[in-house]
Homo-oligomer: A and B are copies of this chain.
Amino acid sequence: MNTSAMKPEQVRLMIRKGEITGPTPGMCSGYAQGNLVVLPKDLAYDFLLFTQRNPKSCPLLEVSDIGSRCFSRTAPGSDIALDLPLYRVYRDGVLEGEYREVADFWRDDLVSFLIGCSFSFEADLLEAGVPVRHIEEGKNVPMYRTNLPCVPAGAFHGNMVVSMRPLPCSLIPKAVQITGEMPKVHGAPVHIGDPSVIGIRDLAKPDFGDPVTIQPGEVPVFWPCGVTPQNAVMASKPPFAITHAPGHMFITDIKNINLKY
């Protein structure tokens, strides 16, 4: 089954029917995938403001209407409660469980936030000959908690989480330019080089995802990561929240290239 060549609508429908249950990287080549955060309306203003104040780690692609289960602008006909392969449900900031669908959890006061994902710029990096190590090694991207504080907003606060890709020095400028052109999927790196400066002790022990090989002559390059908003949500211990499970993203009808314009 070549899900890479399929249209987003087809793949969302197969996920909805339970015919696809795994992680989404590589599916619907050229189309943007997004991180999901669902919160009760009474926390939605603070969270929306948090994303506005931290656009590099929390680039918003869409916010649903209150109670709606559809991202009607980025994916008409979608069902937010069914169209991701795996969800996480949190109560008071504690993970209650992972679920294949969350229709039974839905409430009329929920607001859904779709946040850009670095998968969108990795295709451009590869196309331009910039290596993406975790893809080469068949792993999840390594992610780290940093000492870089987000700008707080109401109930939400926390430090930035970053993803790391090791690059040969000569390719770093190209990688900065390519990703800098895509601010809606985290944009340019936030840090290049010495991890200890941003509070990372050991690159071999990421806080999320998998460690990857750093070859001689390569420098670690760090991008703001879409785990940041989930981290902030959990830190604020909302009574109820739904997110995607890592790697199990929402696939939109928006072409990556159109996130630039």
Contact = CB atoms under 8 A, between A and B. Distances in A.
A180 B183 CA distance: 13
Contacts of A188: 261
Secondary structure class of chain A's binding surface, majority of residues:
helix
Interface string A191-232: 000000000000000000000000000000000000000000
Contacts of A45: 44-45, 48
Interface residues of A, number: 14
Nearest to A46: B45
A197 to B, nearest CB: 19
A73 B151 CA distance: 9
A64 to B, nearest CB: 10
Contacts of A180: 261
Please list the 10 inter-chain residue pairs (A to B) with the smallest Cβ-Cβ separation, ordered nearest first: A45-B45, A48-B48, A52-B60, A49-B63, A52-B63, A44-B45, A48-B49, A48-B52, A45-B48, A73-B151
